[in-house]
Structure 1
Amino acid sequence: MRPPLPADMFDELCPSSLNPIRFGDKWAALIVRCLEQGPRRFSELRVPLRRVTPKVLTQSLRSLERGGLVKRTATTEGGPHVEYELTPLGASMIEPLDAACAWAAEHWDELLDARESYDHALVQDTSV
């Protein structure tokens, strides 16, 4: 049995939240990370991806499935359920994803400063 996914896997202070490199849609890289250790049920994915609505998570999973990165398997064994897992193509994203996350961690302060500066300038522009 696989260990459960930690609820704080994608804490707001996680470098992945600032990663400007996108793999598919906004949530795709996080879904790939959740499936890295093997198949997961939708309800398992919802734990660390609690900020994602069920509708958007479903759309993201379908998009990853359409792109050949995720395989969806429906079974009736032990009651009907669906599992999602990375395909070999999806698993090949782990290495570049690791590199992108390492880059974001290395540039964490710069990324936060840039966002703060932008947001501050935006507020100044709208208050004039």
Structure 2
Amino acid sequence: MEIRPLNRDGLTFEYDLYTQRLVPWPLLNAPFEGCWSIVEPGTSSRPHEHHEYEIWIAAKGEGEIEADGVRRPFKAGDVVHFTPHTEHFALNPKGADGNLEFYSIWWDTELAVAFLDQHQASAE
């Protein structure tokens, strides 16, 4: 077993929120990548879109997400899926009671192929 700890004191500022990329790491072969994200009260992540599929899993707090102009509540325990090229972002309203924290996971064909290649090579 190997645990990759969240380093709250070492988060980077990316997409206008605090993040830590947790997947991949050298010993983990996975067909996806992922990061922890924190949206502070009164802030939002930068609207963006990309070619990967993505899911967000809300772990703490509550806020909202917007995708292609549709805004919905997003709170701990919720999971949302974005298809490729869907513009999306998270926001935590001013006056919110604490941070909105979520884990994002994204994947595409290239990541899947690399995973399979490495998996087959290690099996030989």
In which range does the TM-score fall when normalised by the shorter chain? under 0.3
- Which is richer in helix? 1
For the pair shown, the structure with the greater C-alpha radius of gyration is 1
TM-score under structure 1 normalisation?
A: 0.27
